Amino acid sequence: MKILFGVSSSIAVYKALDVISQLKKNGHEIRVIMTENASKMVSAIPFFTLSGYPVAVDEFEKKDYIPHISLSDWADIMIIAPATANILGKMANGIADDLLSSAFLAFNKPVLAAPAMNVKMYYHPAVQKNMETLKNFGVDLIEPAEGLLACGYAGKGKLAPVEEIIERIESFNPANLKPLKNKKIIVTAGGTIEDIDPVRFITNRSSGKMGIAFAETAHRLGANVTLIHGSVTSVLPAHLKKIAVRSALELLEVLKEEIGFADILIMAAAVADYRPEIKANHKIKKKDETALVLQLVKNPDILKELSSLKKEAQIFAGFALETENLLENAKIKLESKKLDLIIANSPSNFEKETGEVKILYKNGKIEDLASMEKEKIAEKVYERILML
């Protein structure tokens, strides 16, 4: 998310740095607005260092720039932490006499505020009224904690724990809304291995990255995931249910056992089209002949086999990796395997963290997804599946 982070002049101002640091680790983009008094209590330099952006303090610093509008348009969410009695009063009463209060009035998306102040100030009727007004405006107030305050008093007024502030912010993250909750999803990943003899085999260059990205993303979005994998070069997620297979025949056997429990199948494994007709029991020795002939037989088409077991409510998504005629070949696979959609890609995506794909739907629609991280591709595909 893009987060506009407001900092006002509470003694707890230094804790805002911990919050920003953790948000950055979580992958969010941060822009900081400090009140003038906050900038007197602590330098803007650490906020600049952590956020990676210049800190905004003065509304009129640049004559050709309107920061309270530009920053409000840029952000997905706004958080004021710490929020003093003064800034809460301005927010509740529509006062816009500095950059932070002006940005709040220009912001029409989710706003959170974490009050921090002396306990007597916190319980003053004016402050309580202002907080009630802000709640009615839809501002999500993160209640302060109780304890020994910097001024020597004990009571309510300490800035909420960093972990609690992070959790409340993350609750607004679309990625944390769990749209796949209660869905059972099977994802296949990696390449199959077809043995020639005890030491040699036929396989492919699949790293398993795409399938693992789909499994991880489904888990993050709330699904109950089973990852059925062949040979992979990527690290397998420890927290997912995993079933290891070796050959195409093993993969088919496991899928037939598991598919009845699934709502969605993501068939991202790179399955060998052929296997040796006979696997030698011992290592094949090099002989005087200049050529070794392997007799190969066709492996079953797994998705075609599974199509006869497909229930009406199930969604099957396949992958088509082609070196030529990508769309034409993908369309043939989409129709012949009776898929709901197919993701067409090229070998150039092998072993990379990013990919560029096309999604073909059974209604004839084709959608291009420009180069992006494979987790983002997975998010987009799941979004589309939920709309089918």
Residues recognised as catalytic: 151
Contact status, residue 369 vs residue 358, Cβ threshold 8 Å: yes
Taking the C-alpha atoms of residue 202 and residue 197, their distance in angstroms, rounded to an integer, is 10
Taking the C-alpha atoms of residue 339 and residue 135, their distance in angstroms, rounded to an integer, is 48
Q: Are strands 2-7 and 29-34 parallel, antiparallel or unpaired?
A: parallel
70, exposed or middle or buried, with CB in 10 Å at 0-12, 13-18, 19+? middle
- Residues in contact with 248: Cβ distance below 8 Å, sequence separation at least 6, in sequence order: 192, 194, 271, 272, 275, 299, 300, 302
Single-letter residue type at 375: E
Which 8-state DSSP code applies to residue 366? E
> What are the angstrom distances between the C-alpha of 99 and each of 43, 103, 228?
17, 6, 53
* Helix (H), strand (E) at residue 55: none
Taking the C-alpha atoms of residue 245 and residue 254, their distance in angstroms, rounded to an integer, is 8
- Residues in contact with 230: Cβ distance below 8 Å, sequence separation at least 6, in sequence order: 188, 189, 190, 191, 192, 193, 206, 208, 244, 245, 246, 251, 269, 270
Beta strands in the chain (DSSP E): 2-7, 29-34, 77-83, 111-115, 140-141, 145-148, 154-158, 184-189, 194-195, 201-202, 224-229, 241-244, 264-267, 274-276, 296-298, 315-321, 341-345, 354-361, 366-373
Which 8-state DSSP code applies to residue 236? P
Backbone angles phi, psi at 239, to 5 degrees: -85, 0
